[in-house]
Amino acid sequence: MTFQVGRTGAVTPVANLEPVQLSGTVVKRASLHNADIIENLDLYIGDMVYVEKGGEIIPKITGVDTALRSFMIGEKVKFINQCPECGSTLIRYEGEAAHYCPNDSACPPQIKGKIEHFISRKAMNIDGLGPETVDSFYSLGLIQNTADLYQLTIEKIKDLDGKGEKSAENIINGIEQSKKVPFERVIFALGIRFVGETVAKKIAKSFTNIDELINASKEELINIDEIGEKIAQSILNFFSNETNRTLIQRLKDAGLTMQRSEEERADYTDKLSGLSIVISGTFTHYSRDEYKAMIEKNGGKNVGSISAKTSFILAGENMGPSKLDKANKLGIKIINEEEFLKLIS
């Protein structure tokens, strides 16, 4: 048994197996996911187990052949209490199955995982850097966090791991180019828990710059489409951490894009600020997605269901009868395409 620590601090138990051919590959390891699954399997070291590939890709243990247990069987498999990398006591959040290492600022795999996420294609997209290079630079003490990347020079790295000057130039050029990455991808690159690409885009459209985001209240965050209590609290927790705030200041000083561009800002208004809008039916002038984008660009919030908090309904042809009935009962205003376009013109 081994336990792996990811960039979010989640600890994943992994079973080491006798090699077995499965769906075209030799499998030596299989995920056990979390403590509950280990307990439900009643697993012992040396057990004969059933393995399958989830989605034909990820090997996982689905059962134990208890009939084949012998007196030579090893100890019962138990989930660990301390991080295998830094020794911190693990925690388990209410309502979650995973255990986490809380030492996010000093646990090596978490630090390296955050840097790897930061440089990935969908985030800062830094050419020339990969997990092996990150591991090497970290081991040599050149980088301890993402901001340290912007302190690297050709001279510092050209003689490491046989890279040579050309390879070093490519890395430094890639780091320099990352300063042009738009605000929404910088937010995604920060690695805030539960903030994926889509949520990062929503955030970038809702705040002019990083300082507005840092100082946002929970209510302001929850008012953003697709952000609920859990994501809002995660964002608040991230920015309340002094280490993270210091890191962001260093990234700002390095020249990363920490605000919406002038072109993006020119497209946005506050004409629908504070309004929650439901879209229903089919439309003539624009598609539903285009209307959703218009609502966001004018400061409004797209919501999927009608409630007493709904400001109005943008209705096209064939509006759902149940929505129409609910709107009438709650006294929610219904407007058509022409009225909406006039409202934001």
Q: Is the dihedral of CA 279, 281, 284, 286 positive or negative?
A: positive
User: Per-residue pLDDT tens for 262-291?
Assistant: 776 666 788 998 899 999 999 999 999 899
> Rounded to whole angstroms, how far apart are CA atoms 92 and 4?
16
Map out the domains of the chain as residue ranges. 2-100, 108-180, 183-265, 276-344
The three-point CA angle 98-101-105 to 5° equals 140
DSSP 3-state percent helix, strand, coil across the chain (nearest 5): 40, 20, 40
CATH code for the part of the protein at 108-180:
1.10.150.20
Same fold, 108-180 and 183-265: yes
Residue pair 161/150 in contact (Cβ under 8 Å)? The answer is no
Domain boundaries 2-100, CATH class? mainly beta
- pLDDT value at position 268? 76
Average pLDDT over every residue of 9-17:
96
Does residue 300 carry a pLDDT above 90?
no
- pLDDT value at position 265? 63
Domain boundaries 183-265, CATH class? mainly alpha
Containing 301, the helix (H) or strand (E) segment is: strand 301-302
Q: Which CATH superfamily is domain 276-344 in?
A: BRCT domain (3.40.50.10190)
User: Per-residue pLDDT tens for 235-257?
Assistant: 999 999 999 999 999 999 999 99
- pLDDT value at position 129? 93
User: Per-residue pLDDT tens for 113-168?
Assistant: 999 999 999 999 998 899 999 999 999 999 999 999 999 999 999 988 777 899 99
- pLDDT value at position 266? 66
> Rounded to whole angstroms, how far apart are CA atoms 48 and 128?
43
Torsion, Cα 218 224 226 228, to 10 degrees, reads 20
R_g of the chain computed on alpha carbons: 25
